[in-house]
Chains A and B, each alone.
Chain A
Amino acid sequence: MNSAPATRSAGFWAEAWGRFRRKKLAMAALAFIGGLVALALFAPAIAGTKPVLCRYKGQLYAPCLGYFDRRLEPAIFAKDRFRGTYPTNLAAKDPESWAIWPLVFQDPYRSVRADEWPGLPANPAKDEGRPSPRNLFGTDQAGVDVFAKMVHGTTIALLVGFVSMGIAGTIGIVVGAVGGYFGGWVDMVTSRITEIVMCIPTLVLILAVIAVIEKPTIWHTMAIIGATGWTGIARLTRGEFLRLKGSEFVMAARASGAGPVRIMLRHILPNALAPVLVPITFGIASAVLLESSLSFLGFGPPPPTASWGSILNDARSNLAMWWLVAFPGIAIFLTVLAYNLIGEALQEATDPRLREARK
C-alpha cells in the first residue's frame, strides 16, 4: 500500500483484502477467530494437569501432547504409575526433576483432587462450583473445571466449521461447476440431486446415523453436515458458472483453444469464487450452531471429549448453575457472530456492484 513503484500491481484478492481491512468489526471478528485458533492450538499449555515440558530421570518430555492424542503421552509415565497426577509423582519419584506447567492447573476431563497441586483444594462438585479465582468459569456437576473444558472444546468448535464446510464447499463447487458449465441433461441431473439433498433434514439424518453407528465420533457429525450442507453453495456456483460461461473472456479463451477443464479452473472459477466464499463462511457459522444443538440434545461427541454444546447439556439438570449456560452460550454466540460478520464483510469486499455503489 505504500508508494514504491509497483512492478506487479494489486490483483483482485489484494484489493479485496484492502477493502476488508478497513472494516473494523470484521477485522475484530477475524482477530477473534484467530484467537480461537491459537487457543485450540495451545489449549494443553493454557489449561491442563500435564506439564508442558518436564525433565524426568535425565530426559526431557512433553506430556501435555497427550491432550491431542493419548499415544503422544510418553510411555514412561504410565510405566512409572503416575496415573495422570504429575506434580506429586514427579517430586516423589525424581527429586532432580523440574517441569513447566500450564497456565491454569485444571483438567478438562476430570475433577482435580485435593493436594494434587501443593495447597490446592479439591474442585467443588454439584451446584457448589460457582466461578471463583481457582475455577474461573466454575465447575460442572462432576467437579470438572468449565474453563478447562471450554479451552479444550475450542478445537471441536473450529473443526466442526472448517471440516464440514471444507467438505460441503468441495462438493458444492464441483457439482455446481459441472452443472452450470455443461448445462443440458448434466445440469438437469445435478440440479435434481441438489434439490433432493436439500430436502434431507440434517439434524434428523445425524441422529439416525448416530443411532446406527456403533461408535459415533465427532467426525461422523462433520461428514454428515458436509454431505448435506453443500446445496446452497452448489446453486450459487451453478449460477455463477452459467453467467460466466457466456462471457466474452471465456469465449476468447475457447478461441485460443482452451479446453473445458482449463476454462473452468483458470477462467470461471477464480471469478466465481468470491461470491461462493460468502455462503461458505455463513455455513461455518451454522455448522457450529448445529454441533452445539446436537451436543445440547446429548448427541454430541461422546465423553470425555469436551464441546461447548455438551456443557450446555450439563446445565439442563440444574438451571441454578447459571455458569454452565452463560459461558459456553456466550462463546457460541460470539463465534457465530464473528463468522457472520466476516461473511458479510467478505461479501462487501468482493462484490463489485456494492463496491461501485460505495465509491
Chain B
Amino acid sequence: MSLDPLLAVSGLETHFPVRAGLMRRQVGSVRAVDGVSFSIGRQRTLGLVGESGCGKTTVGRSILRLVEPTGGRVHFAGTDVRATHGTALAALRRRMQIVFQDPYGSLNPRMTIQAILEEGLVIHRLGTAPERLERVRRALERTGLTAAALERYPHEFSGGQRQRIAIARALVLEPEFLVLDEPVSALDVSIQAQVVNLLVELREQLGLTYLFISHDLSVVEYLSDEVAVMYLGRVVEHATAAALYRAPLHPYTLALFSAVPRIDPAHRRRRLVLTGDVPSPARPPAGCRFHPRCPLAERVCREVDPPATAAGGHLVHCHVAARELERAGGDADSAAAVVADMMASTPTATLAGGGGS
C-alpha cells in the first residue's frame, strides 16, 4: 500500500435491485459488492480471490463503471471515477481497460480482428488510419500474434489466441491499469502458463498496474504483490501475497487454501471442508458474513460485524483472529498457527487424499 495509489477503492457497494410483481416494484436487492475497500499502488498487482458468486467480477466491472456502483468511492489517479461523466469518463476509460474471462464471448464474432483492435482508437480519434494500423500491429505483436491475424475473424482462433487478441485490444489504448477478470480460467493449463507469462512480461515492459481477479490461488500467488480474499460481497482478508500464503489468518482463507491440491506426498495436511452453501447475497447473515459456515463461530460472530484488524501486513475481518493476534502480541505468524490448529481440530477437517482416517 504505497502513499500514492493509482487506484483507491473505499466502501464500494454494488447492489442489484430485485423487482417483482406487476408494477415491478423493488422488493429487495442483491448485495453483490457490499463495502469493499482496497488500493493498488502504481505498477503493483492486486489479486482478488474468492469462490464463484462472491462478487469479485462485479468489483472489477464497478471500477470501470461497466456496472454502475450504488455506493462508495473509486479514485483513479486522483480522479473520482463515480463523479465522472460523458467525455471525461471516456477519457478515463482510455487509461483503464479490462480483459474478460471468456475469450469466446468477449470478441464480436462479426468483426475482423483489425476492426476489433482498432475500435478504441477510432472512438477516441487517435491518429490517422495508417498510424492506427501501426498501433494495432504493435499491440498484436506484443501479445505474440502476427499481422496475418488482422483480416481474420475471431472464430478462426483458438482460446489462447483469442485471449491474446483480447489482451491486445486492452493494450492498444495504452492504458495504465488493467482489470484482468479471470483471464486464464477458461484456458487449458498449458495455455494458461503462456498467457500468465505474457501478462508478467507486459507488466514489466509497459509498467502496468493489474487488478487480477481469479479463483485460481496458485496463479494469483505467482502474479500478485498483494491479495484480497472476498466472501459474499466483502473482503475478509487482505495481505501481501507472501504473508497471506505463509500464514492465512481468516478461517475462510484457511479453508480456501486447504482446497488447493498439492503434489507433495510428504505434505499431508488436513483438508477443511466447509459445510452448507454460501448464503444468498440478497439476504446476507447478520454479524460476520462467514459465521453460518465457520467452524470457529462464537456468539459474538453472530451478532457483531467484525472490524478490520491490522497486523504483520494483514488486514483481517475476524473476531477469532483478532483475539489470537492480540494474545500473540501482534505476531501474525503465530496467531495464524493457532487459528490453523483450531480449524484442524474441528469436525470439518478431513485428512487430505482418500476418505480420511
Distance in Å from the Cβ of B34 to the closest Cβ of chain A?
Answer: 22
Chain B: residues with Cβ within 8 Å of the partner, total of: 32
Chain A: which residue is nearest B123 at the CB level? Answer: A257
Whether A88 is near chain B, meaning CB under 8 Å from some CB there, is: no
Selected from A248, A259, A262, the residue in CB contact (under 8 A) with B100 is A248
A9-B152, A11-B110, A257-B93 known; A252 vs B123 contact (CB < 8 Å): no
Query: Interface readout for A248-274 with B: 1 if CB under 8 Å, 0 if not?
Result: 110111111111001000110011000
Bound Cα distance A260, B102 (Å): 23
Q: In the complex, what residue of chain A is closest to B101 when comparing beta carbons?
A: A248
B98 near A249 with CB under 8 A, answer: no
Which residues of the partner chain A approach B123 to less than 8 Å between Cβ atoms? 256-259, 262
Complex alpha-carbon distance, A254 and B89, angstroms: 11
Given A11-B110, A257-B94, A257-B120; A252-B100 close (CB under 8 Å)? yes
> Considering only CB atoms and an 8 Å cut-off, how many residues of chain A contact the other chain?
24
With A251-B61, A256-B93 in contact, do A271 and B109 touch (Cβ < 8 Å)? yes
Q: Does B56 contact A (CB under 8 A)?
A: no
A52 to chain B minimum Cβ distance, whole angstroms, is: 45
Chain B positions within 8 Å of A251 at CB level: 61, 66, 98, 100, 106
Shortest CB-to-CB span from A10 to chain B, Å, is: 8
Residues of B within 8 A of A267 (CB): 108
Instruction: List residues 2-43 of chain A with CB under 8 A from any CB of chain B.
Output: 7-12
A-B contacts counted at CB < 8 A amount to: 73
Q: Is the CB of A7 within 8 A of B151?
A: yes
Residues on the B chain within 8 Å of A266, using CB: 111, 119
**A217 CB-CB contact with B under 8 Å:** no
- Interface residues of chain B: helix, strand, loop or mixed (majority): loop
Residues in A with CB closer than 8 Å to B102 are 248
Q: Is the CB of B110 within 8 A of A248?
A: no
In the complex, which residues of chain B have a beta carbon less than 8 angstroms from the beta carbon of A270?
108, 110-111
Residues of B within 8 A of A253 (CB): 108, 119
Task: Determine the distance from Cα of A259 to Cα of B106 in the docked complex, in whole angstroms.
Answer: 17
Which of A247, A248, A257, A271 makes the CB contact (< 8 A) with B90?
Answer: A257
Partner of A11, one of B119, B120, B124, B153: B153
* Contact A9:B110 (CB < 8 A) given known A252-B98, A256-B119: no
Residues of B within 8 A of A (CB): 24, 61, 64, 66, 90, 93-94, 96-98, 100-102, 105-112, 119-120, 123-124, 151-153, 156, 166, 169, 173
- Beyond the given pairs A12-B110, A252-B106, A256-B119, 19 more chain A to chain B contacts, judged by CB atoms under 8 angstroms and listed by A's residue number, are A8-B112, A12-B109, A247-B105, A248-B105, A249-B106, A249-B107, A249-B109, A251-B106, A252-B100, A255-B64, A255-B66, A256-B120, A256-B169, A258-B123, A266-B111, A270-B108, A270-B111, A271-B108, A271-B110
13 pairs, CB–CB < 8 Å, chain A vs chain B: A8-B151, A12-B109, A247-B105, A252-B100, A252-B106, A254-B93, A256-B97, A257-B94, A257-B123, A258-B119, A266-B111, A271-B108, A271-B109
- A residues sitting closer than 8 Å to B (CB atoms) are 7-12, 188, 247-249, 251-259, 262, 266-267, 270-271
